[in-house]
Amino acid sequence: MFDSIGIFLTDEKIGEELYIYECGYEDVKPRDPYQYEQIDYYLLHYVISGEGLFFINGDVHKLGAGDLFLIPPHTDNNYYPLIGNPWSYRWIGFKGTICDELLKKCGFNGDKFTLSYTKDDFVEKQFSQVFNDCTKGKLHAGLGHLYILLNTLMVEYESELRYSFNEAEKYVKWALDIIHERYHQTDLTVAALAEEINVDRTYLFRLFKTYVKYSPQQYIIHYRMNKASDLLRKSRFSISEISELVGFNNTPHFSKLFTKHKSISPAAYRKQFLKKV
């Protein structure tokens, strides 16, 4: 696949949240297995062609073109090509405070260290672009392509999760997405919600009580009150403005509901927070 091997290494830390430590590619020659030393950064590989074995945490994974495998920091691992069809791969090593969070959103959860992306060559191109940018001294551009790569994996994982839901869970997820996107709209009602996802209000009520533990109306109010709390703590909007921003066109009604749910009035809540500051 490749001529041989290309490696880029840097000690330049361009940010705290995420930065590239190394990247490269290799047309791997068959070899005897041996144990790699543990590393102190995340190392993500993408198999371009061929096959190989990946050993981690006592499990073995046979991987081929389109597969990704992740080696977290301070983890025993081993990986090598299969004789007769040795693999070629690209890799990126990175560090930062948000690495774990980003990788979980990609689907690398718990003991899951492998993923697949075979729909097109977009992921491979991002690996390639990271290497090309870094070798030209364009570390920020390379980091940008790493973010694009991770975001692509996140979108794929979210899509897989949606398809894995049963029908009832799909309706609940759909309804929650609508609430989270439109909580600020005064015409967001349970009736409108049920109509949009094409289910009976009674059925929607049962679904929410089963999966969310709130009724749809309770959840809408609960979500709006939490958003109002955030605005009271973090913004300079007036209470009437905050009332409108979270979907109420009647400030006294909003204040009454807020007091009921938080056991404190909006004004007193804000004042209490300001005292702490």
**Contact of 93 with 19, CB cutoff 8 Å:** no
pLDDT at 164: 60
Average pLDDT over every residue of 162-185: 87
Superfamily of domain 167-276: Homeodomain-like (1.10.10.60)
Instruction: Please state which CATH class domain 5-163 belongs to.
Output: mainly beta
Residue 137 structure tokens: 């001294």
pLDDT tens across 109-127, in order?
878 999 999 999 999 999 9
Look at residue 72 and tell me whether its pLDDT is greater than 50: yes
**Contact of 74 with 81, CB cutoff 8 Å:** no
pLDDT tens across 87-99, in order?
999 999 999 999 9
Average pLDDT over every residue of 77-94: 93
pLDDT, mean over the chain: 92
pLDDT at 54: 94
pLDDT at 162: 67
Percent of the chain residues topping a pLDDT of 70? 95
pLDDT tens across 31-51, in order?
766 667 899 999 999 999 999
Look at residue 142 and tell me whether its pLDDT is greater than 80: yes
pLDDT at 277: 41
Ranges for all domains in the chain classified under CATH 1.10.10.60:
167-276
Ranges for all domains in the chain classified under CATH 2.60.120.280:
5-163
Average pLDDT over every residue of 123-143: 97
What CA–CA distance (Å, rounded) separates 108 from 157?
A: 10
pLDDT at 243: 97
**Contact of 91 with 39, CB cutoff 8 Å:** no
pLDDT at 111: 84
Matching residue, tokens 């299969």: 82
